[in-house]
Amino acid sequence: MNTLFLLLASIIILIALLIIIFHRNPKRNIPKEGIVSPADGIVKRVISVEKGKDKSLFLPKGMLGGIRLLTEEFKGDISVIQIVMTVFDMHHQKAPLSGTIEEIKYSKGKFLNAVDQAEEAMFLNERNSILIKSGEGFYAKIVQVAGIFARRIHCRVKEGQSVDKGEELGFISFGSQVLLVLPSNMNVKISEGERVKAGETIIASN
């Protein structure tokens, strides 16, 4: 009986610790300059896409249409930064720059493993897109992507709302991924495999 009790107690404590880890929202040192990361995690891919065709993207057959749909609001060439989160990362998303929320678009989809099947998940999984227009007139798009366990995406901003850099945009339960879409004339300062922090790590500058 004591062994069973200890086992159950250990499981409950572990679950409680994981919940605390998932929901923590530490204060970040927000830099005055640059465009910051919208999420904690590891940069899985930095993708350059030409107008109408792809430069460096390797995807399963038929996925190229997905990236065109993902970036339909952008007229020129773009860069897509894919950030993969594990269950140990902070799961709140932050505004990468100050501006106005121009559009929020929720799309139903699958719940593929957003880490192990990262490339397929970025186009096929359930997601929520937040389009921000900066004060300088260019657009940035943040896409919250659900994962195999993360079946709830919380969006905490509204269309027409002004946001400051580093302000909270939303939350994804458990491990998943976040995409940041920027015009290609932005100077991307991070590399694939690099760990980034939401609201703190400078992703790009203009």
For residue range 51-91, what is the model confidence (pLDDT) as tens digits? 656 555 545 555 555 666 677 777 778 888 999 987 778 88
**The pairing of beta strand 168-172 with beta strand 92-94:** antiparallel
Cα–Cα dist 79/204, whole Å: 10
pLDDT per residue as tens digits for the range 148-178: 665 678 899 999 999 999 999 999 876 688 9
Cα–Cα dist 87/77, whole Å: 33
pLDDT at position 53: 60
pLDDT at position 19: 66
User: Is 176 an active-site residue?
Assistant: yes
Tell me which residue of 88, 92, 74 sits closest to 184, measured CA to CA: 74
pTM score: 0.83
Please give the CATH superfamily to which domain 2-205 belongs. Answer: Glucose Permease (Domain IIA) (2.70.70.10)
Angle at CA 147, nearest 5°, toward 142 and 153?
55
Beta-carbon contacts of 118 under 8 Å, excluding residues fewer than 6 positions away, are: 44, 45, 82, 84, 177
Main-chain dihedrals φ then ψ at residue 31, nearest 5 degrees: -70, 150
Cα–Cα dist 177/122, whole Å: 8
Q: Which of 37, 79, 173, 176 is catalytic?
A: 176
Angle at CA 145, nearest 5°, toward 144 and 147?
140
